[in-house]
Chain A
Amino acid sequence: MNAVPVAAPTRLVDVTVDGTTVKVAEGTTVLQACRGAGCDDIPTLCYGDTLTPKNACRVCMVEVEGSRTLVPSCSRKVEAGMVVHTDTERVQHSRKMVLEFLGSSTDLSVAPHVADWNEQYAVDVDRYGPDRRTKAQPVKRDNELYVRDYEKCILCYKCVDACGEQWQNTFAIAVAGRGFDSHIAAEYDAELPDSACVYCGNCIAVCPTGALMFTSEHDMRADGSWDESRQTETDTICPYCGVGCQLTLHVQDNSIVKVTSPSDHSVTHGNLCIKGRFGFQHVQNH
């Protein structure tokens, strides 16, 4: 008996992206189809390759012929004959506005790629004036392992989903409040040590803006010593239990400054526990 599961057959459909026609499997997202067609520069923030699309940030919008509105490429599935434009004036204008609204209220200074996008789309957050409302607030430091800097939070929900049923199933955090006052909080807005948090750091792993950050990285950024050009990333295996999680050690000056796991690894899917994520102090040599 050969009991290897066989997935249902998928149909290939034609999709045209910026004039190039590609064949992609039915059920693929527009974003994946665009990347398959060589269009790699669609910005994303709330999208995560291990998470169900949340459609929260609206920065990945593209134009689909026949569609009245722009569509979020991260979640919209392709259809046969779909014609997609990723760089029309309407798309560019939309991205500029989204980045300006996010950037005018939150601090995107350490969010990867955002500086490039700001330049590309001529983003000018200052045009909203000095009196604009912002999320400015003190950094929350209630434990030794990681900090929460909600001035940087764009409410993309990735941390909530990673902590919830998509991965960690701890359900320590959710969105509290309404409207502009919405924010990520533990139950009853408790400090982390009084919450259900188990410090796996799987929320840090998916955070796109640095709102959730290793204390080590946060403090090094604060004192100016954080320098990614001097860092190496080395894949190895966690030294604790027998599950065999792959760790990526981020090392600067022979010290581990951060630990991640590849999101495409079949054991972890990018997730770790407190020991794998933070339990490296015993090999720090200074």
Chain B
Amino acid sequence: MVGLATVFGAGGGTSSYAEIEDTDVIVLWGSNAREAHPIFFHHVLKGVHNGAKLFVVDPRRSASAQWADLWLGNNVGTDIALSHTIAREIIHAGLANTAFIERATTGFDEYRAAVEEWTLERGEAVTGVPADAIRELAHAYAKADRGQLCWTLGITEHHNGVDNVLSLINLALLCGHVGRHGAGLNPLRGQNNVQGGGDMGAIPNRLAGFQDILDPSVREKFGAAWGVTIQDRYGWHLTQMFEAMERGDLHAVYVIGENPAQSEADKEHAVHLLAGLDHLVVQDIFLTKTAELADVVLPGSASWCESEGTVTNSERRVQRCRKALDPPTGARDDIQIILDICRRLGHDWHYGTEPLEVAENVWNEVRSLSPMHAGMSYARLTELNGIQWPCPHEDRLEPSFLHGRLWADDPAERGRLAPFSPVVDEPPVEATTDEFPLRLTTGRRLDSYNTGVQSGGFDSPLRWGESIDVSPEDAATLGLADGEWVRVSSPRGSVNAPVRIDRVLRPGLVFMTFHFPEQVDTNVLTIDATDPKSGTAEFKAAAVRIDKLVDDRASQVAGAAAGN
């Protein structure tokens, strides 16, 4: 979101799902959409059946990569190196879209200089991807009439995740693959309202409608509507909050619908900081591990089926959630809880009485302050099965893609040009060493989700619990058998987990999920190095060691105990 906002001024994917079906080249980079975003992958497959070439960039030969015309299995954390190598090849082959670069971008010369050292040979040496494969992707993407670049947490969950995103945006600018139907940049959001949360201002630097809090006219507009003075400085994102707890600058925390005691990297440290707060309030639909640490727990209702509201998906589509179930006794709508707290704090806000009425009135307040949502009445959202932003007018819809302005003949209409970002390749913070020789990366499986508090409830025939997935080669070297329990250690801690031999992994690379923290607490191993621009942690790259256990049977008991 930060990367796209930096370059284009809007923090959203530039295309729509339907456009993926109508394109020539699809690049999935750091995304196993087949498992993590299955219905998006339906659109990818429509595109493939319609003749698009599919390239997948992923250290693992994932379920998505198995559909690709070409899989580029790069070393973890070498995305900028790969992107720069692709860029240099495009430039040297004379395939850069010079008309678009001259018309719609700035900073090309610095970018060209930054990528010049990334020859195919150097790229191959650093990324582990054969030069021919890099060249094939570069030429296919550059020559395509329409190209789509899609990414997920494989790009963003690094200490330099924003730079990774910027390096991908560079490629789209280099080839003019943005601002046209079928050509665009698509970050696939990991959670159902990540996009909407940011759009609504639930980030420390923006107000609803992605409006910058440092802009005096924005502060004035919101201040006038709310009758308050809005601070003229950014707040803290999650990682900065943890840093502030460590410094002793943050004493009280109110957590709504988040489980940082299990989801944070280097979780032992996170739990220690949460436990040390003067006051912790948790509002959730479950008594999570974080809630167990809280002074006050406020039972909320499930926002997707026990209350009314909207969420925004990865193609910027705002859609209505509706109440289908009565919540359990004592659980209340998040909005009602917040309104009651506000009342106790001396702010008597009125949005009505019925849940639907309250939600619609809150939404109408958003529409009155956020121009990009102004045209989205509840009636229209209902009639049209959701509406993509921007939608400033009630009487029409905008194109399904963003930034068509960059192609305008009139410089005034073109607006702010898109800057190239000459970012620098940086390896993961934690290098593998003789002591910790294996690269651990993490991700999701098809039938599970995050820390498993939601997905753990249903009986999936596909689920086998946590495992440490290793390549057949590493399993042979280490003498490991399928199902054998082993000790996995990183510089931060150790967990016991069963081995699963998986051919999608290359030697030196091991994989775990974080879906089963009660069984195996993967985030004991992960590193909390974070991106200074987005606050996202480097879940994708830790250095680990696998040790055989002396007594396999006894270790299972130890493993279960360690999980408690």
Verify B320–A235 contact, CB threshold 8 A: yes
Residues in B with CB closer than 8 Å to A3 are 180-182, 404, 407
The smallest C-beta distance from B307 to any residue of chain A, in angstroms, reads 10
Verify B446–A243 contact, CB threshold 8 A: no
Residues in A with CB closer than 8 Å to B407 are 1, 3
Verify A282–B190 contact, CB threshold 8 A: no
Bound-state Cα–Cα, A232 to B37, Å: 28
Residues in B with CB closer than 8 Å to A272 are 39
Q: Which of B206-214, B262-270, B459-467 contacts A (4 or more CB under 8 A)?
A: B459-467
The majority secondary structure among interface residues of chain A is loop
Residue B324 at the chain A interface, CB threshold 8 Å: yes
Residue of A nearest to B319 (CB): A237
Bound-state Cα–Cα, A279 to B407, Å: 44
Residue of A nearest to B455 (CB): A279
Verify B461–A236 contact, CB threshold 8 A: no
Residue B125 at the chain A interface, CB threshold 8 Å: no
Bound-state Cα–Cα, A262 to B319, Å: 14
Residues in A with CB closer than 8 Å to B314 are 242-244
- The count of chain A contact residues (Cβ–Cβ below 8 Å) is 58
Q: Chain B, interface size: which category?
A: 35 or more
Verify B37–A243 contact, CB threshold 8 A: yes
Given A237-B311, A256-B325, A285-B325; A242-B192 close (CB under 8 Å) = yes
Residue of A nearest to B313 (CB): A244
Residues in A with CB closer than 8 Å to B285 are 282-283
Question: Considering the complex, which residues of chain B in the window 403-423 have a beta carbon less than 8 Å from any beta carbon of chain A?
Answer: 404, 407-408
0 or 1 for each of B283-318: is its CB under 8 Å from A? (1 = yes) = 001100000000000000011111000011111010
Residues in A with CB closer than 8 Å to B188 are 241-243
Bound-state Cα–Cα, A193 to B447, Å: 14
Verify A279–B458 contact, CB threshold 8 A: yes
Given A267-B313, A271-B42; A198-B180 close (CB under 8 Å) = no
The smallest C-beta distance from A143 to any residue of chain B, in angstroms, reads 4
Residue A5 at the chain B interface, CB threshold 8 Å: yes
The smallest C-beta distance from B458 to any residue of chain A, in angstroms, reads 4
Residue B237 at the chain A interface, CB threshold 8 Å: no
Q: Which of A147-155, A162-170, A174-182 contacts B (4 or more CB under 8 A)?
A: A162-170
Residue B392 at the chain A interface, CB threshold 8 Å: no
Verify A251–B180 contact, CB threshold 8 A: no
The smallest C-beta distance from A269 to any residue of chain B, in angstroms, reads 7
The interface centre, meaning the residue of B36, B188, B458 with most chain A CB atoms within 10 A of its CB, is: B458
Verify A1–B408 contact, CB threshold 8 A: yes
Verify B458–A281 contact, CB threshold 8 A: yes
Given A1-B408, A200-B38; A192-B192 close (CB under 8 Å) = no
Residue B378 at the chain A interface, CB threshold 8 Å: no
Q: Give the A-binding residues of B (Cβ under 8 A).
A: 17-18, 22, 36-40, 42, 45, 49, 67, 180-182, 188-195, 285-286, 302-306, 311-315, 317, 319-328, 385-386, 399, 404, 407-408, 446-449, 453-462
10 nearest A-B pairs in the assembled complex, by CB-CB distance: A244-B313, A242-B189, A281-B457, A234-B324, A273-B38, A282-B457, A1-B407, A144-B459, A239-B304, A281-B458
Q: Give the B-binding residues of A (Cβ under 8 A).
A: 1-5, 143-145, 165, 167-169, 192-193, 197-200, 232, 234-246, 249, 251, 254-256, 262, 264-269, 271-276, 278-285
Q: Can you list 26 contacts pairing A with B, beta carbon distance less than 8 Å?
A: A3-B181, A3-B182, A5-B181, A144-B459, A192-B461, A198-B446, A237-B319, A239-B303, A239-B304, A240-B191, A240-B455, A244-B312, A244-B319, A246-B385, A249-B324, A254-B325, A254-B326, A274-B447, A279-B455, A280-B458, A282-B285, A282-B453, A283-B302, A283-B306, A285-B326, A285-B327
